[in-house]
Amino acid sequence: MDRRATFWVLYLPPLLLLGAFFLIPLLLMFVYSFRADMHGSFFQLWQPSLNQYTKLISTGSYWRLLGVSSLMALVISISAVVLSYPIAYFIAFYGRQRAGFYLVLLLVPFWTSYLLRVMAWKIMLGTEGVINSFLLYINLIQEPLTALLYNRNAVMLTLIYVWIPVATLPILAALQRIDIALFEAAADLGARPIHQFLRITLPLSLPGVLAAFFMVFIPTVGEYVTPLLVGGSRGSMYGNIIQDFFTKAANWPFGSAMSMVMLAGTLILVAIAVRLINVRDLLE
């Protein structure tokens, strides 16, 4: 099989899937955001309107919530990466023959449903949960702490936990690509372990760190399941409001406009980050 045929055999099925189930719905959503209201059938022609964007621009609380959600995503991404790095470092350099086993252990949470993992935190943090029960048992508190659940802290704690295995994988891949001979050379030249880490390990693993950061940051900005389960009255994120317009308000045009703004915002943030960090230099 020649190179061109191989290319199409390998790329065509995923490209078709991506086109049918991601790009076309995204395009439909973009088109729908210019619809004035829900009146009329889904496929009928309508006069394009900027109504939804005008309403969105004039509603300050949605912009503020987008900012809050982005900030939460930033904190969650940085925390998940910082906590994942030691795990990846351990598996890459100290795992030896058991590295595969440790990797499987890391991936065990993926064997259970995302929803179950979030619900487990609800059980941990609830008024009758594990943490409250323990604190009551050791008499550190007399009444259950209600501040543990149904707020933004609970959302962030749960999401950091959920993302740690995801963030570990690209960092681990980057660390495993580092040539061990570099450490031996550095040691021969008198570099102490901390200097070896700062001058060799960290710079060479940065592409993995960045990949991990973006893999967590981008989906977290639009997250809605975790806030719904553990966020309570004040824990809503921007994604929850989008979901509400689709499922509780029957207002797909406005939900679509909100989605487009979030997509544009996320892409702009990623573009700025890529520009600032200069990924090409890092990759080279």
Partner 1 sequence: MNPKKPLRYSLTGMLVALTLILSACGAPADVPPGELTGSLSVLDWAGYDAEDFWIDFKNTYPNVTVNFEIGISDADIYAKMAAGNQADIFHPYTGWLQFYVDEGLVEEIDTSKLANWDKVPEHFKKIGQFNGKQYFIPWDWGFSSVLYRTDMIPEGVDSWDALLDPAYAGHISMWDDGPAAVTVSSYIHGYDETAITADQLATIKEEWIAQRDSNLFYWAGEPELVEGMTSGSIWAGYAWQGAYATLLANSIPVAYANPKEGRNSWVGVYGIRKGTENLDLALKFLDAKLAEATGNNVVNLFYYGHSNQDVMNGITDATLKEAFSIDDPGILETTNFTPNLTAEQRDAWTAMWAEVKAAP
Binding site for partner 1 (CB under 8 A): 37-43, 55, 59, 61-62, 64-65, 126-128, 146, 150, 228, 231-234, 236, 238, 240-241, 244-252, 254
Least distance between partner 1 and beta carbon 279 (Å): 34
Q: Closer to partner 1 at the Cβ: 162 or 237? A: 237
Shortest spacing between CB 39 and partner 1, in angstroms: 7
CA–CA separation, 275 and 212 (whole Å): 17
As a whole number of angstroms, the distance between CA 281 and CA 210 comes to 13
The least CB distance from residue 110 to partner 1, in Å, is 26
Query: Of 207 and 239, which CB lies nearer to partner 1 in the complex structure?
Result: 239
161 vs 252, beta carbon nearer partner 1: 252
Region of residue 41 (left: phi > 0; alpha: psi -120 to 50; beta: else): beta
Would you give the distance in Å from CA 132 to the centre of its chain? 29
Which CB, 6 or 59, lies closer to partner 1? 59
Supply 86's token pair.
């030691």
Torsion of CA 188, 194, 198, 204, to 10 degrees: 60
- Smallest gap from Cβ 209 to partner 1, in A, equals 33
Q: Count Cβ atoms below 10 Å from residue 74 Cβ, excluding itself.
A: 16
Distance CA 220, CA 228 (A): 13
For residues 129 and 123, the answer to whether their CB atoms sit within 8 Å is yes
Nearer to partner 1, 143 or 188 (CB): 143
Phi-psi region of 156 (alpha: psi -120 to 50; beta: other; left: phi over 0): alpha
Task: Give the CA count within 13 Å in the CB-facing half-sphere of 246.
Answer: 14
What is d(CA 70, CA 222) in angstroms, rounded to the nearest whole number? 9
Structure token pair of residue 162: 């959920």
The distance of closest approach from Cβ of residue 63 to partner 1 in the complex, given in angstroms and rounded to an integer, is: 9
CB of 216 to partner 1, least distance (A): 23
Contact 220, 159 (CB under 8 A): yes
Question: Considering beta carbons, is residue 34 or 245 the nearer one to partner 1?
Answer: 245
Report the residue number, 55 or 117, with the smaller CB distance to partner 1: 55
